[in-house]
Structure 1
């Protein structure tokens, strides 16, 4: 009987031990990168499309249970989507003026902004430069692709043209810098206004001429979490990652300016 009595008492003792062990494991899983599990929806300027996948892959090395889903488009178009209720956790614009418009939305109440990189607008020619464009003044008699004026790359191009006193006789207005880059790459235009990062990527496969634009300041890439993003551990972690030495090194490798 004594032996049986000891066996009966050991059952609740064993259960308590199991629960205590489970609690310890649960506590450990809440620390480190394991807490960053889930998905973050990142609305990012089209010009970040060249580097986005690399950034997400590097972030995943320390956050294997996290997923970054990008929505790349012109910054102005992204603000319109946000204003219409599109779900986003983090917004990265291609200039400060467009970010200011986003910050006026309810989705960004009390949001803080962090500049993660800079870029510079350039004029890039079609493969082989068949129109023999050597400076901005040479664009007057050729077909030039330019972003819509409400898009950061379009606003910068307009500034550059005004500074040089140049009027385009014929132009192809595009929704974002990716569309301009495509027009250049396919030879549909003689040249186009794109960012230096896009020119760097395009120059790896084509013989393009890149013309610097005097009087055109570099543009910032400010990032801000939305109200829902601030409650998303993955979004918060990714926003922090973008300013890390690792992420800044990746951005620099793609031609972006960093601090």
Structure 2
């Protein structure tokens, strides 16, 4: 995507939830290319619901979501698949495929009706294998992979789809600290070097503060959004959890357990 379109995604006064129940309302933010953004908040606050709403998997209840100055709901499914890719926490049904075959599925929005891969498609697949360190695993069946390896494959498939916007639900779940950092640093590199807008939900608030350009805190009240250092200055992290159990240390940008 060219850098001339400043806001790749804009969310204004959006309410999310289900017809009978609003989970969170008054969500507003905008993100540009080359930005990595985390959505954080307590369990059940609506992080995954917001991500699914941004991916057009479920309707918003009110407000506006625009991608590149066009309403999300105005995109056809094939056109949206060229603008936005989605990595959800559900395991793929196609785990019998090899790593390379699963990543190749990311090229579906561009292939002809019989799914023939062009030189460009093959180049994108190879770049994804390289970026996510998957060359040694390319012929392995996905059901033979560890959780961390499969997570890398799913993100590599989203990279192969080559969309300006990538949405990921809990990309570091089930991973140890080293692999959590590895995945988030790869996402940061992808955003900054390939001009992507990447939004992910996470419980890893300490890591998000260190690695993200922007953070959206879903708190059900103000839902503050901005650069991590500004959110720390404005003391938004201090009210995220009940203070008798954990407290936020603004100096270190991390949570401390009250002993």
TM-score normalized with structure 2 length: 0.27
Q: Please state which structure has a larger fraction of its residues in helix.
A: 1
TM-score normalized with structure 1 length: 0.27
The structure with the larger Rg is: 1
